[in-house]
Structure 1
Amino acid sequence: MNPRTPLLAAGLALGLVHAAQPGGAAPQLMSAPVAIATPQDGAGLVARLTALDARAGLTTDYGFRLGSQHPGVVGQKITRAQHTYKNLRVFGSEAVVVTNAAGDIVSVSSADRRPGLAPQASAPGGIVAPAAATPPADLTPALSGDEAIALAVQNVAPGASHRWPASAELLIYPVMQTVRTAAAVNQPAAQLNALDLEEVVQRYELAYLVQLRLARDGKVIYYDVVVDARSGAIIAKWPALQTVIGSGHSQYNGKVPISTSATAGGFQMRDPARGSGGKFGAMAITNANHSSPNNPDPGAVYSHTGNTWGDGQQYNGGSTTDANGQTAAVNALWGLMNTYDAHKNVLGWQALDGNNTATYIAAHVGTAYDNAFYDDSCKCMYIGDGNSFTSLGAIDVIGHEMSHGVTAATADLIYAGESGGLNESHSDIGGEMVEAYARAGGTGAQLPATGNDWMMGKEISRSGQPLRWMHKPSKDGNSPDAWSADLKNLDVHYSSGPNNRMFYFLSQGSKADPASEYHSPYLTRAPLAMTGIGNDKAYRIWFKALTTKFTAATNYADARGKVLQAAQELYGAGAPEAIAVQRAYAAINVGADIDEAGDGGGGGGEAVERVRNGGFEDGVSGWSGSTGVIGAHSGQAPYEGARVAWLGGNGRRGSETLTQQVQIPAGATSAQLSFALHLDTAETSNTVYDTLTVSLRPASGAAATLAIYTNLTPAAGYQLRSFDLLAYRGQSVTLSFAMREDRSKQTSFVLDKVSLLTK
């Protein structure tokens, strides 16, 4: 083994990977707008991803198609790479690729539904190896895209007109099935936790994804429809309209400062300080002037001879340009300004897409129109004057709709099932956080701890009853308070409920009294009343998970793991913030509860170390495989103690593996795997040559890859890596570190302090 001088970078990781930050570290901000990759840069990134696939034995049938690109945390960029099979996109299958300022891959988090790779369904209650479901043998469609569109329109809204041109994308559609994990096969249905179930592929279909943006009878009808490309049958469909359902003088906020632009004839509601480009070259409010909701025309930017706007009263049905008609525009502009400022000043996120692209809101859509909605086709928002409601321009409603724009530009959560509920929940969360920021004056680099009412749409309600209660979603009569296996079958405005409650508990905490609306029966550890971490920390954690970790198909169980990763990256693996995430999700039946105090979050119960000799101080004891890599090596300093496991560093073709079998108790409420890894290399090209694969193999079933580290991005010093293994409770698993090195130029993967703590 050849000692090398460490190079400055971070390790490449595939899967649930992060480097823990010290508990006192300042929260990371999001990066400034990023440059969209040139064709050459994009091709280079695809080549590196393809090289990783090739190292895993995948053929050229598998590929990548680059999607959206947006900022990550400071110094990083996020690229969403869609998985393809024989040049067709696999729906819901993608990789979230994090690169640094030099363009090096830092990490890749995947939702892999590709044929031959995704978990497949077999008999009820079990999962078999990935050969069970195969792609369609014939990838030639029997229908044209236009025929698929016609069938979709006939199914959704016959006779409707196209507000935006329809599209039909030929792709491979995985038909998913929910199955129980091995540990939960015999568990009563009422006792199932979100982590007891898995989404697996039942079969693949060649299909068209038809996106319809229709209008009929004064209503916009947006649907995504999956049409069988061979038979024309409708495989799936879901609504795609992201809606709230149901100095200026603002109707809801009194006299407020608004940012306008001077013109030759006076002023207009156009704010060039917040965003650039877009339809109007800057953030703007327009007058739709009762344009039909069938096909609303945003109209012109609001203008006025003076710079005092509105009368603060509900619109009376008269002129849309006099003082009373201007009030809806004041509501909209103040709301949009605070949405922009809250995200930029607190998080560093600029506009909806993070790249500072300007948006606009069109006021006075329709006549007595009871809706407000975000339209990603124009990346804008439309506001009605209300009938059963008052004007739909309240601050939380605007924050809600604009947050749909953030989701569309980042995770783009599929607007159906559990992912659709998370999509809606992010908008409710965003609306509440914007409200808190605005009520405190709309300035500062932190979200205030108070100021929002935790009720979505209360101000626009003529009855005083909000649309949704964040702390107790079931108060609306439709939304559940906790996860259940039926959650995916609900309308997304109701399946958002449990995650809304999770966020409330994460921020504000819960109550121990079972009679309280703020109590969760799923919190059974000490203390029964969990402690919240406040709006600011809660939203930083949530926002980072959404924008840099979630994939389009993320469900509640996946969200828990990724929100926990974000908390651990920001505040540390054993930090109170990370503990609060676990408790907040446990409060809605997603994961098990843990105690708040002591031993990194275990509290009343002692943490038990499941890895034997994880620091290698007892030589090879506990380890199997290439145990000759363990020792005190002069060329590599340990993370702690005197010994390490130095895999690689040989500069010649070879492989080395260390394994250890560990048991995760069935009653575990926490299972955290962690290790310290140092990586240095003599390789200089952008090609993957040397890899370290970290995996788990259960006693039965296929191995699961936790992470792959490569020569592409070495690191100065040790990086702490951490994984949540609670999903493996009740199982004996083999932990494996497997190194492969090519024929020349060494790469060293140096391990220390391997630990699996369970509670």
Structure 2
Amino acid sequence: MNRKNALAAAVAAALALGSVTVVAPQSTAAAGNSAARPGAGFQAMTADARGEAIRTADRNAAATARALGLGPDERLVAKDVLIDADGARHVRYDRTYRGLSVIGGDLVVHLTADGTITGSDLAHQGAIRIADTTPKLTAADASAAAVKHAKHVRNAKTKGSDGSTLMVYAVGKVPVLAYRSTVTGAGEAGPATRQAVIVDASSGAALDQYELHQNITGTGNGVTVGQVSIETTQSGSGYTLTDAAHGGTIVYDSYNSPQSNPRQNARTFSKTTNSWGNGTTSSRESAAVDASYGLAKTWDYYKNSFNRSGIRNDGRGAPAYVHVDTGLLNAFYDDDCFCMFFGDGSSQNGNTPVTALDVAGHEMSHGVTAATANLTYSGESGGLNEATSDIFGTMVEFYADNTGDPGDYYIGEKLNMSGGYMRRMDNPSADGNSLSCWTSGAGSVDVHYSSGIGNHFFYLAAEGTGAKTIGGRSHNGTTCNNDTFTGIGKDKAAAVWYRALSAYMTSTTNYSGARTATLQAAADLYGTNSQERYLVSKAWAAVGVGTALPDPGTPTPSPSTPTPSPSTPPSGNALTNGTFEQGTSGWTQSDDIITNSTLQLARSGSWYAWMMGYGADAVESLSQSNIAVPSAGTPKLTFWLKVTTQESGSTAYDTLKVKVNGTTLATYSNANASSGYVQRTVDLSAYKGQTVKLEFAGTEDTYLSTVFLVDEIAIG
């Protein structure tokens, strides 16, 4: 769990659940207990019970906001509530600022059954403060800027001022007043691709952009599920493809309505007999059978595995449309209309529908992600979004146990792709585009390719390393660090991922944050000292994210083990990754400090350390241990520092301290503000020949922000 999950001080507030007391977060599972907790640890809830839990959370929202230390202009809006088997609650909120929606403002609050807050996960840490909510740009100006910035569509256009909405963009450390514009044009998702573009409301600069259709793109090979049973509804003397057993899900024939308005010509499938399709594209019903079957199996998987009732856990089915547009090699979920759409393919694949079982599971899972963590569809969070759909699309395939489409870790293997699949979870880079291992540039890669990191992690966590045949297909669990280990099984791995997604991830979670979330979920389900949690950490290390935890089965050294003589100079390592171009490698950070965000600039390269800048009470630390200080000459620490602040005067309100072995050697503050990077030097003569821990410790007071940017750190 991220920094500030344990709130700084106990805050009492009268809630319907009881008196709120804030304590440090801890695992709810007994250490070493590896017994499975069904439903990923969550209780089954009726729609009425869930609705009442959300209403209770809304009534408690103001007190919860105060307990979290949010500002007076912020409001929390309850989105969902999950209840553990022991009554503990995980309440997911969105937040607003002076009535404006906040992108990156979502959070999860964790409470015991009696209302004690045990922790929180916030997409944006701390309170949000913006000097002025009056934009310099008009909505029409923002729309024009969005069209200019749109990268993923051709012939971009918006609806002018109606296409842009004013909101707060809080994905970076410093919240910005911004416009969110919807841009349409020709792109990868088809001739009516929709893209969100976020622009600064003062300057019109692009802050972020991503596709709104979260899609799985490719060619299909026709009807894939074979002869199956599907749920229908009798209406008068006929039948319709309405699945009352799964929330009233209805499959419509779009009748080739354009992608820009796929419901334009839509009509229900209805007939006097209850036999549908003929297994080929000569019947328009055949694609509808595929879709109905796939969506029902996806619903059943979530219900029977995690006690989840539908996409939004409210028992409501999402309508689906087949035969969308003409020549559409795409399927997608759209949260704006709570709908799913399936194209018919094109001449490249014999005009066969894109309605395979793992496609249906993939698209419906995009809806589950939108209803839970709502992972932003760009950067590393976008890769996690896609990986989540691949993971659960795959699990649906295993769950369905369809002899014509057995479970495996290939994505879209029934879609007649030229390489035989769209993606492979066991070896993502085999497609020539996807990432198998995390790199510092992962956030700049297309989300369908950066998803490979999450896919690879999941495969290794589930199956472990080595060659296997699964579902009749060859799999080979290779790693990025040449490690070998066993997996915990696909059902346990899926339970860990679902709990992490539902209870701990937020819209801005990156791969490092996903590791933290899954380790917490594994601790909740199987115990802090369980083999499951240990193997989850091994799987993350195997794809280049973090290091493995100590094996809980390895005995600790005896206290009588002799220690080195104090007179022997300790050995150590040279400071590593001082430029941060290898991401977090070598460093321990209390939050997502090491970044390549374009909201600030590195002194060189693209990566740097961004510390503080919250405009609220906050602390952060960045450290590296086991550093060998040279034993000759006059050793020193050098680094480049840029300080920008909203404070004024020479009083040090916000500070950055340089510590060695816990001793402060230098302090910088808002009073050291500079227009650019300034090289700083710290004498390390007192530590000649020693092995030390170097730490940068930031502290910020209640009001006004100060940003400390650090780059190019060296000891010599």
User: Could you tell me the TM-score, scaled by structure 2's length?
Assistant: 0.68
Are 1:258 and 1:333, in contact at CA under 8 Å, matched by a contact in 2?
yes
Using the TM superposition, give the Cα deviation of residue 148 of structure 1 relative to its aligned residue in structure 2, in angstroms.
2.1
Equivalent residue number for residue 365 of structure 1: 324
**Shift in CA distance, 251/346, structure 1 to aligned 2, threshold 3 Å:** same
Give the match for residue 66 of structure 1.
Answer: 77
Secondary structure of 2:484's aligned partner? coil
The residue that corresponds to 1:219 in the other structure is: 191
What is the alpha-carbon distance in structure 1 between the residues aligned to residue 546 and residue 457 of structure 2? 12
Task: Give the superposition deviation at 1:166.
Answer: 3.5
- Give the deviation of 1:345 after TM superposition: 1.1
Structure 1 residue 351: deviation in Å? 0.5
Q: Residues 632-643 of structure 1 correspond to what in structure 2 (within 5 A)?
A: none
**1:46 pairs with 57, 61, 64, which one?**
61
Displacement after TM superposition at 1:425 (Å): 0.1
Partner of 1:256, secondary structure, is: coil
* Cross-structure match for 1:97: 109
Matched, 1:342 2:301: yes
In 2 relative to 1, CA 467–64 (structure 1 residues): closer, same or farther, beyond 3 Å?
Answer: same
Q: Quick one: which of 262, 265, 273 aligns to 1:296?
A: 262
Structure 2 partner of 1:80 = 92
Q: Output the CA distance in 2 between the equivalents of 1:308 and 1:421.
A: 40
The residue correspondences of 1:324-403 to structure 2 (distance < 5 A) are 324-387=283-346, 388-389=348-349, 390-403=352-365
State yes or no: 1:169 paired with 2:166. Answer: yes
Match among 364, 372, 394 for residue 410 of structure 1: 372
Structure 1 residue 452: deviation in Å? 1.4
Does residue 160 of structure 2 align to residue 206 of structure 1? no
Distance 1:529 1:559, change over 3 A: same
Q: Distance in 1 between matches of 2:71 and 2:425?
A: 47
Q: CA deviation at 1:439?
A: 1.5
* Alpha-carbon separation, structure 1, partners of 2:663 and 2:209: 36
Seen in structure 2, the aligned counterparts of structure 1 residues 245 and 17 have a Cα distance that, compared at 3 Å, is farther
Q: Which amino acid aligns with 2:109?
A: V
In structure 2, the residue matched to 1:476 is 431
Q: Give the drift of 1:293.
A: 1.6
Counterpart contact for 2:20–2:116, Cα < 8 Å: no
Q: Deviations over 1:425-445 (max 9, x none)?
A: 000001000000011689xxx
Flag the 1:206–1:521 CA change in 2: closer, same or farther, 3 A.
closer
Distance 1:294 1:302 in 2: 22
Separation (CA, whole Å) in 2 of partners of 1:233 and 1:521:
38
Q: Which one-letter code corresponds to 1:23 in the other structure?
A: S
C-alpha separation between the residues in 2 aligned to 1:77 and 1:13?
Answer: 14
Match of 2:384 in 1: 422
1:654-706 Cα offsets, whole Å, 9 max, x none, are xxxxxxxxx99659xxxxxxxxxxxxxxxxxxxxxxxxxxxx999379xxxxx
Q: Equivalent residue of 1:496, what SS?
A: helix
Residue 87 of structure 1 deviates from its aligned partner by 5.9
Q: Structure 1's 512 and 583: CA in aligned 2 closer, same or farther, altered over 3 A?
A: farther
Amino acid in the other structure paired with 1:45: N
Three-state SS of the structure 1 residue aligned to 2:195 is strand
Contact kept? 1:162, 1:213, Cα under 8 Å: no
Counterpart in the other structure of 1:639: none
CA deviation string 1:202-227 (max 9, x = no partner): x5432122344667996222222111
CA shift, 1:101, in A, is: 6.6
Counterpart amino acid of residue 176 in structure 2: E
CA distance in 2, matches of 1:730, 1:587: 28
Flag the 1:291–1:329 CA change in 2: closer, same or farther, 3 A.
same
| Unaligned stretches of 5+ residues in structure 1 | 1-7, 117-134, 177-200, 276-281, 317-323, 443-449, 610-662, 668-695, 702-728, 735-759
CA distance in 1, matches of 2:161, 2:406: 39
2:243 alignment counterpart: 271
In structure 2, relative to structure 1, the CA distance for the partners of 1:451 and 1:459 (3 Å cut) is: closer
| Aligned partner letter, 1:60 | P
Change (3 A) 1:608 1:268: farther
Deviation readout 1:228-276 (Å, 9 max, x if unpaired):
2122333332222200022xxx92122111111112132111011111x
* Paired amino acid for 2:336: S
- Number of residues of Structure 1 aligned to a counterpart in Structure 2: 540
Q: Given the alignment, which residue of 546, 551, 557 partners 2:506?
A: 551
Query: Per-residue displacement from partner, 1:296-327 (whole Å, max 9, x unpaired)?
Result: 117122112211111112x25xxxxxxx2111
Kindly provide the CA deviation profile for residues 108-128 of structure 1, in whole angstroms up to 9, marking residues without a partner as x: 222334468xxxxxxxxxxxx
Residue 460 of structure 1, aligned match among 400, 412, 415: 415
* Partner SS state of residue 395, structure 2: helix
Does the alignment pair 1:258 with 2:230?
yes
Q: Does 1:31 align with 2:23?
A: no
* CA distance in 2: counterparts of 1:350 and 1:60, whole angstroms: 36
Deviations 1:60-109 (A, max 9, x none): 35x33215224343445543334556665553243202456776655422
1:291 alignment partner AA? S
8 Å Cα contact 1:218/1:292 also seen in 2? no
On the 8 A contact 1:594/1:602 being kept in 2, the answer is: no
- Residues 433, 160 of structure 1: alpha-carbon distance in 2 compared, 3 angstrom cutoff: same
Residues 70/333 of structure 1: CA separation in 2 closer, same or farther (3 Å cut): farther
Partner residue, 1:580: 535
Cα pair 2:426 2:478 within 8 Å, conserved: no
User: How big is the shift at 1:577?
Assistant: 1.0
Unaligned runs of 5+ in 2: 1-16, 469-473, 561-622, 628-658, 665-690, 697-716
For the 8 Å contact 1:171–1:209, the answer to whether it is kept is no
Overall identity of the aligned pairs, in %: 33
Partner of 1:151: 145
Q: 1:259 corresponds to which letter in structure 2?
A: E
Which TM-score applies when normalising by structure 1?
0.64
> Which residue in the other structure is 1:445 paired with?
none
Aligned match of 2:487 in 511, 528, 532?
532
Residue 142 of structure 1 aligns to a residue in which SS? coil
Pick closer, same or farther for the CA change 1:370–1:555 going to 2, 3 Å: same
Contact 2:19 2:114 in 1 (8 A): no
Is it true that 1:232 corresponds to 2:204 in the alignment? yes
Aligned residue identity for 2:258: S
Amino acid at match of 1:312: G
Alignment partners' CA distance in 2, 1:466 and 1:40: 45
Q: Is the 8 A contact 2:25 2:119 kept in 1?
A: no
Secondary structure (helix, strand or coil) at the match of 2:279 reads: coil
Shift of 1:529: 2.1
Residue 284 of structure 1 corresponds to which residue in structure 2? 250
Pair 1:733–1:17, CA change in 2 (3 A): farther
Distance 1:228 1:143 in 2: 9
What is the CA–CA distance in structure 2 between the aligned matches of 1:420 and 1:340, rounded to whole Å? Answer: 23
Match of 2:276 among 293, 301, 309: 309
